[in-house]
């Protein structure tokens, strides 16, 4: 088997006199496409990734919702069964523990 030598290859990346990458098509010189991502956009992307990770963590650690218990609780809320100081204090304690455990 014979492998022919590669000849006539263009430079990998030509630069103009202002150090901007250029390409040449049919004798005409065009600047190559460029993209710049701002630091604000990079930070927003990182926050989006973090929010996704937190959502997964919450979804994986949250128990299934038992709709019959939710319905019973809704009835008790409407009838005022939870309008007692000991009940509201207990709810506040449990919510703060839950939020602390999730890192909120």
What is the model's pTM?
Answer: 0.34
Q: Is residue 95 part of a domain?
A: yes
| Residue 68 located in a structural domain | yes
Residue 4 lies in a domain: no
Query: Is 30 within a domain?
Result: no
- The b-or-e profile of 50-69 (16+ CB within 10 A means b, else e) is eeeeeeeeeeeeeeeeeeee
Look at residue 90 and tell me whether its pLDDT is greater than 70. Answer: yes
Domain count, the chain: 1
pLDDT in tens, 33-83: 778 889 999 999 999 999 999 999 888 888 888 899 999 999 998 998 888
Asked if the structure places residue 97 within a domain, the reply is yes
Q: Among candidates 43, 44, 41, 16, which has minimal Cα distance to 30?
A: 16
Q: Which residues constitute the domain of residue 74?
A: 39-101
Is residue 60 situated within a structural domain? yes
Note whether 70 and 78 are within 8 A (CB). Answer: no
**pLDDT tens digits, one per residue of 7-38:** 665 555 555 455 556 666 667 766 667 788 89
């Amino acid at each position: 088997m014979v492998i022919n030598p590669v000849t006539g290859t263009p430079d990998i990346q030509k630069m103009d006199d202002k150090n901007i990458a250029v390409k040449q098509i049919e004798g005409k010189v065009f600047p190559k496409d460029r993209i710049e991502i701002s630091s604000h956009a990079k930070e927003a992307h990182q926050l989006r990734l973090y929010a996704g990770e937190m959502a997964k963590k919450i979804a994986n650690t949250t128990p299934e919702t038992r709709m019959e218990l939710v319905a019973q609780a809704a009835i008790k809320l409407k009838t005022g069964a939870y309008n007692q100081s000991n009940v509201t204090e207990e709810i506040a304690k449990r919510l703060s523990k839950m939020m602390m455990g999730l890192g909120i």
